[in-house]
Amino acid sequence: MHAHQKFDTALNQLPLIAILRGLQAHEALAMGEALGSTGWTLIEVPLNSPDPLTSIATLASGLPQALVGAGTVLTPADVRNVHAAGGQLIVSPNFNPAVVREAVRLGLLCLPGIMTASEAFAALEAGATGLKLFPSEMISPAVVRALRAVLPADTRVFPVGGITPENMHSYLAAGASGFGIGSALYKSGMTANQVQAHAMNFISAYRAASFSH
């Protein structure tokens, strides 16, 4: 299954992206397996983590059913490094057209960070797979609804930053396609069992929220 098929499957089943900031390479497979055991298949290792490309390579080879990639991707060279490590997902805190174009050129999925309608349309025009709404602490569900009203109907939007099991419902009701989840799921020093428990809490909350709206 190639990257776009994995992404489409995840969007239908569990559109939650695990952001493993601070992940240590030696624990990458254990954390990935803990997530995979719950059905979680979207995994991002930010490039400002220790030895991130080793973690990405470990996860990509050890979890072939998962869509593994990098966050905090800031340059086209970063994109090439992630691709060489086996990553298939490029996530950025900002919109840089050169990063999006390089990801598209290499056949990778790309979710640039945007906050305004101007950034959103520019990112889509550059070829972005979807949009990371970041930081979502500054982007209320009302803003998501307003953006959703003007964006193409098939645009995938992912609020990221401060997402908890408690606030997912209001974002889903406003039109969010899924979420990126960081410190509420994983912090450096957690055990695989803790991450698995957090993952299951988020899955339960997501299913309840998506069913009710």
The set of catalytic residues is 44, 132
- How far apart CA 85 and CA 107 sit, in angstroms, is 14
The burial class, CB within 10 Å (0-12 / 13-18 / 19+), for 119 is middle
Residues 6+ apart with CB under 8 A from 103: 79, 90, 109, 110, 127
What is the C-alpha to C-alpha distance for residues 200 and 198, in angstroms, rounded to an integer? 5
Rounded CA separation 169/25 (Å): 34
Would you mind telling me the total number of residues written for the chain in this entry? 213
The whole-angstrom separation of Cα 102 and Cα 112 is 12
163 CB-near residues (< 8 Å, 6+ apart): 136, 171, 179, 180, 181, 184
